[in-house]
C-alpha cells in the first residue's frame, strides 16, 4: 500500500533506519526506494504509480516532495494515488501545512491517513510545487506581470509565489529602506513603519516577463523555470495525507 | 488576499490586494476583500468590502466598493454603497455616489455628488455615472 521514496543525500544511514523502524512499528512499512544517478525521483514515483501503490510517500526536503508531486499530477490523473510526506525540517512551510511537528508525528499521520485535497501551483511546461517558489534579483530590476488581460510593471527584489497562486512582491526600495530603518533604529529616530512598497495579488494564472535579462523561479534551491514564466493555480490537484487533528476545509475521507 | 483581473469577476476570499507604491497597473482590479492602492492604477477598481487609495496613489477609472477612503488622487466616478471618505490629502475628479459622504478639510472634490435613496437609487445613479465616465474618458 505504501511506497516510500527516501532522499538519502545528506541523511545518515542511522536516520534512514530509524524512519524505517518507526514505520515498521506502526505497521505501515512498505517498499522503500532511493534516487540514484540511474533512477531519478520522478522515475521512482512513476514506478510506484505503475506498480499500483495507493500512497506514495516522499521522505526528505521540499525538493523531493515537489518532484513527487510533479510525477503524481502528470501520471496519476485517472488514478487514486495519495501523497504522504515525512519532511526533513519541521520548521518548514510544508510541515506546518501538514500539521506535523516531528518525525513520529509525521509517521503517525501517515498511519491515520486523513486525506485532504489541496491546490498546487503549476509552472509551464510541467513542473509543480506545493509550498512556495521565488524569483530573486541581486540588483534593482523590473518585471512585467500579466494577470488575465491586465499588466503591471513591478520593480522588485523578490517575488514569492505561494499556494493558491498568491503573489507577494517585495520592492527593491523596501530592501533599501530596510537599511534606512536600521540606521534610524540605531540613531533612535522615530519613523513611520508602514510598508507601502510590497504588493500582494492573487489570480488563477500569472505570466512574468523580464525585459532586463532572464530570471529564474526557484523552489527549494532548484531552478524550476526561467522567464517568461507562466504559473497557474491547480485547485484540488492532489490528495495529501495530513495530521488527523489538522483543521481542514476540503476533507475527502 | 484575493484578486481577479479582467472581466471574469469570480470572487475569491482572502485578506486583500495591495498595489505597492512603485507599481503601475493597467486593467481591471477586483477583490472580494479589501484593496489598498499605494501605486498607479489605470482601469476599473472594485471590491465587495473596502478600497483605500493612499496618499501616494493615483487611480484613473471608476471605483466601486462598500467603503471607499481616498487620501490620494482619483480621476473617475466613485460609488460607495456604504461610506465614502475624502481625507485632507485626497483629490477626486469625478462624480461620487454614496449614502454617507465625509469630506475632510483640505480635500479637493471636483464633480457631482449623488445621494441615492435605497438600492434602486444606486442602480439609477450608477447608470448615470457610467454615461458620465464614458464622456469623461472620451
- Are A143 and A71 in a shared domain? no
- Are A192 and A170 in a shared domain? yes
Region of residue A91 (phi > 0: left; psi between -120 and 50: alpha; otherwise: beta): alpha
Query: ipTM strictly over 0.90?
Result: no
Cell of residue A42, nine digits: 520522478
Chain B residues touching A148 at Cβ < 8 A: 4-6, 8, 27
Note down pLDDT in tens along chain A; length 253 residues: 899 999 877 667 777 888 888 999 999 988 999 988 888 988 999 899 889 898 999 998 888 898 898 888 887 665 688 999 999 888 888 888 888 898 899 999 999 888 888 888 899 888 888 888 999 988 878 899 998 778 899 888 899 998 888 899 988 776 656 666 666 666 665 555 577 888 999 888 999 999 888 999 998 888 889 999 999 988 888 889 988 765 444 444 3
- Are A150 and A186 in a shared domain? yes
What pLDDT sits at residue A202?
87
Specify the higher pLDDT residue, A26 or B2.
A26
Per DSSP, what are the bridge partners of residue A162?
A: A166
Q: Which domain holds residue A64?
A: 2-119+236-242
Whether residue A250 lies inside any domain: the answer is no
What pLDDT sits at residue B61?
95
What pLDDT sits at residue A139?
80
- Are A84 and A151 in a shared domain? no
Domain ranges within chain B, ordered by starting residue: 4-137
Interchain contact, B18 vs A166, CB within 8 Å: no
Average pLDDT, chain B: 84
CB B79, CB B129: distance < 8 Å: yes
Percentage of chain B lying above the pLDDT 90 cut:
68
Nearest beta carbon to residue A151 from set B15, B18, B27: B27
Q: Per DSSP, which regions of chain A are E strands?
A: 2-6, 31-33, 55-60, 82-87, 114-123, 127-129, 133-147, 150-162, 166-170, 199-202, 205-209, 216-219, 222-226, 229-242
- Are A174 and A216 in a shared domain? yes
Residue of B nearest to A152 (CA): B25
CB A137, CB A160: distance < 8 Å: no
Nearest beta carbon to residue A150 from set B16, B21, B26: B26
Whether residue A127 lies inside any domain: the answer is no
- Are A109 and A149 in a shared domain? no
Nearest beta carbon to residue B22 from set A173, A201, A204: A173
**What's the DSSP call for residue A251?**
B
Instruction: Give the integer Cα–Cα distance in Å for B60 and B91.
Output: 12
pLDDT digits (tens, 9 = 90+) for B76-89: 999 999 999 999 99
Nearest beta carbon to residue A147 from set B5, B22, B54: B5
Nearest beta carbon to residue A149 from set B3, B6, B12: B6
Whether residue A247 lies inside any domain: the answer is no
Q: Strand pairing of A205-209 and A229-242?
A: antiparallel
Chain A residues touching B29 at Cβ < 8 A: 150
Q: How many structural domains comprise chain A?
A: 2
Instruction: Give the integer Cα–Cα distance in Å for B72 and B60.
Output: 11
What is the sign, positive or negative, of the torsion defined by CA atoms of A221, A223, A227, A229?
A: negative
Interchain contact, A200 vs B18, CB within 8 Å: yes
Q: pLDDT-based confidence at B118, cuts 50/70/90?
A: low
- Are A211 and A147 in a shared domain? yes
Q: pLDDT-based confidence at B120, cuts 50/70/90?
A: low
Residue of B nearest to A142 (CA): B23
A203 touches chain B (CB under 8 A): yes
Cβ-Cβ pairs closer than 8 A, A with B, add up to: 80
pLDDT digits (tens, 9 = 90+) for B9-42: 434 444 589 999 999 999 999 888 999 999 999 9
List the CATH number of the domain containing A198. Answer: 2.60.200.40
**Total residues belonging to chain B:** 138
> Looking at the predicted structure, is the pLDDT value of residue B5 above 60?
no
Chosen from B3, B4, B5 to mutate, greatest number of chain A CBs within 10 A: B5
Q: Which A positions 154-173 lie with beta carbon below 8 A of chain B?
A: 154-155, 166, 169, 171, 173
Nearest beta carbon to residue B21 from set A147, A151, A196: A196
What pLDDT sits at residue B96?
95
For the whole model, what pTM was predicted? 0.79
- Are A101 and A9 in a shared domain? yes
Chain B residues touching A198 at Cβ < 8 A: 18, 20
Instruction: Give the integer Cα–Cα distance in Å for A46 and A51.
Output: 9
**Total residues belonging to chain A:** 253
Q: What is the CA radius of gyration of chain B?
A: 14
Crossing angle between the packed helical segments A62-75 and A41-50, to the nearest 10 degrees: 40
Interchain contact, A150 vs B18, CB within 8 Å: no
Closest CA to A68 of A218, A239, A223: A239
State the first-to-last Cα distance of chain B, in angstroms, to the nearest integer: 34
Cell of residue A160, nine digits: 514569492
Whether residue A34 lies inside any domain: the answer is yes
Interchain contact, B3 vs A197, CB within 8 Å: no
- Are A85 and A189 in a shared domain? no
- Are A190 and A168 in a shared domain? yes
Amino acid at each position: 500500500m505504501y511506497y516510500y521514496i527516501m532522499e538519502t543525500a545528506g541523511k545518515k544511514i542511522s536516520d534512514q533506519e530509524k524512519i524505517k523502524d518507526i514505520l515498521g512499528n506502526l505497521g505501515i512499512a512498505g517498499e522503500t526506494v532511493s534516487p540514484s544517478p540511474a533512477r531519478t525521483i520522478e522515475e521512482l514515483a512513476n514506478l510506484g504509480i505503475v506498480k499500483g501503490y495507493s500512497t506514495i510517500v516522499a521522505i526528505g526536503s521540499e525538493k523531493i516532495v515537489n518532484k513527487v508531486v510533479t510525477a503524481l499530477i502528470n501520471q496519476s490523473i485517472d488514478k487514486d494515488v495519495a501523497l504522504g510526506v515525512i519532511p526533513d525540517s519541521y520548521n518548514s512551510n510544508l510541515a506546518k501545512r501538514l500539521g506535523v511537528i516531528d518525525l513520529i508525528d509525521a509517521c503517525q499521520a501517515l498511519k491515520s491517513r486523513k486525506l485532504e485535497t489541496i491546490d498546487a501551483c503549476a509552472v509551464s511546461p510541467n513542473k509543480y510545487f506545493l509550498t512556495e517558489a521565488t524569483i530573486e534579483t541581486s540588483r534593482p530590476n523590473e518585471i512585467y506581470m500579466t494577470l488575465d488581460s491586465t499588466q503591471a510593471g513591478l520593480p522588485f527584489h523578490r517575488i514569492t509565489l505561494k499556494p493558491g497562486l498568491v503573489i507577494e512582491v517585495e520592492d527593491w526600495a523596501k530592501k533599501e529602506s530596510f537599511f534606512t530603518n536600521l540606521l534610524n533604529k540605531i540613531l533612535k529616530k522615530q519613523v513611520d513603519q508602514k510598508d507601502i512598497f510590497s504588493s500582494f495579488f492573487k489570480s488563477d494564472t500569472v505570466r512574468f516577463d523580464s525585459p532586463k535579462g532572464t530570471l529564474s523561479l526557484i523552489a527549494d534551491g532548484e531552478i524550476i523555470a526561467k522567464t517568461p514564466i507562466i504559473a497557474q493555480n491547480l485547485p484540488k490537484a492532489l490528495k495529501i495525507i495530513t495530521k488527523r487533528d489538522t483543521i481542514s476545509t476540503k476533507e475527502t475521507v | 488576499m484575493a484578486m481577479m483581473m479582467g472581466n471574469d469577476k469570480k470572487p475569491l476570499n482572502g485578506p486583500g490586494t495591495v498595489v505597492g507604491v512603485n507599481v503601475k497597473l493597467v486593467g481591471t482590479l477586483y477583490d472580494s476583500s479589501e484593496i489598498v492602492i499605494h501605486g498607479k492604477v489605470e482601469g476599473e477598481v472594485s471590491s465587495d468590502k473596502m478600497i483605500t487609495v493612499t496618499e501616494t496613489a493615483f487611480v484613473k477609472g471608476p471605483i466601486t466598493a462598500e467603503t471607499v477612503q481616498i487620501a490620494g488622487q482619483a480621476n473617475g466616478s466613485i460609488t460607495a454603497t456604504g461610506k465614502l471618505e475624502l481625507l485632507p490629502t485626497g483629490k477626486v475628479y469625478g462624480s461620487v455616489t454614496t449614502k454617507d459622504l465625509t469630506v475632510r478639510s483640505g480635500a479637493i472634490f471636483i464633480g457631482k455628488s449623488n445621494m441615492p435613496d435605497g438600492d434602486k437609487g444606486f442602480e439609477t445613479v450608477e447608470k448615470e455615472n457610467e454615461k458620465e465616465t464614458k464622456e469623461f474618458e472620451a
